[in-house]
Amino acid sequence: MHFYIMTLFPEMVMQGLDTSIIGRAMSKGLLSIEAVNIRDYAFNKHNSVDDYPYGGGAGMLMQAEPVYQAYEAVMNKISSGESAPAPGDTAGSKRKRPRVIYLSPQGKTFHQDMAEELAEEEELIFLCGHYEGIDERVLEEIVTDYVSIGDYVVTGGELPAMIMVDAISRLVPGVLHNDVSAEFESFQDNLLEYPQYSRPEIWHGKQVPEVLLSGHHANVEKWRREQSVIRTARLRPDLLEKAELSEKEREIAKRFQKL
Ligand code: SAM
């Protein structure tokens, strides 16, 4: 999987992502992440990439041309096959046009299903805005998806891009040590994950639930499922509308939603 992040702050993005699990996956060649500095495509002697918005208003706007040139450079790289192929990637240069995601508070809100869908792509290009955003005309030409990380405004698209790259990367086969750890997690089946415990068996006088020490796999699974339903009912009842629950689970959920 190859990620290209078009940004004015490449160090921020690379330093944030080149650590821990994602950093290891990069070293193993399971992922590649390249930050493309939009400022390298500035076309004036001051190296500036922003200007005042027509019609007035506070703040500056990123200009269309440097963003477009950075995009063209990424596309040339992709079509010349410069990015190292991911394991099992035989599609080569015949690949479809990669999706270009503009991080924007005006976009569709990012969620786990979207991460799963995007994890199927060979390449993804992220475009990070800054200041008041980006000249609309270049967005119209290159962007395929507008994605927000939530209904609030942050200063730039870098943190949102890092969040998306992290969430998508951990779904790429081999990135997590144990593929099972991505198997049941919060939001799968529209439920939150059950509570988890590790050693010691008693901590601050609190005992690990007996069933988890029983070694009885089926009972553990039953307990976990029920706990997921209870937790979702308490913390995120909105998710339950789309969850597939048995009659008994619906009753449990109703009981805990009222508490
Ligand atoms: N003037 C813009 C508006 O009101 O929609 C907000 C610009 S914001 C200060 C600068 C950049 O941060 C945006 O171009 C976008 O790339 C990024 N950004 C801010 N909030 C975001 C969010 N919730 N999700 C994704 N990106 C966001």
C-alpha angle 68-73-76 in degrees, rounded to nearest 5: 125
pLDDT at site 94? 59
Nearest CA to ligand 1 atom 22: 105
Minimum-distance ligand 1 atom for the alpha carbon of 151 = 23
CA 61 – CA 56 distance, rounded (Å) = 11
pLDDT at site 229? 97
pLDDT at site 56? 96
Residue 93, helix vs strand vs coil: helix
The confidence band for 19, taking pLDDT boundaries of 50, 70 and 90, is very high
Nearest CA to ligand 1 atom 1: 132
Q: What is the CA radius of gyration of the chain?
A: 22
Tokens for 214, please give them: 């029983």
pLDDT at site 177? 77
pLDDT in tens, 67-111: 999 999 999 999 998 665 555 555 554 568 999 999 999 999 999
Q: Does residue 130 have its Cβ closer than 6 Å to ligand 1? A: yes
pLDDT at site 82? 65
pTM as predicted: 0.92
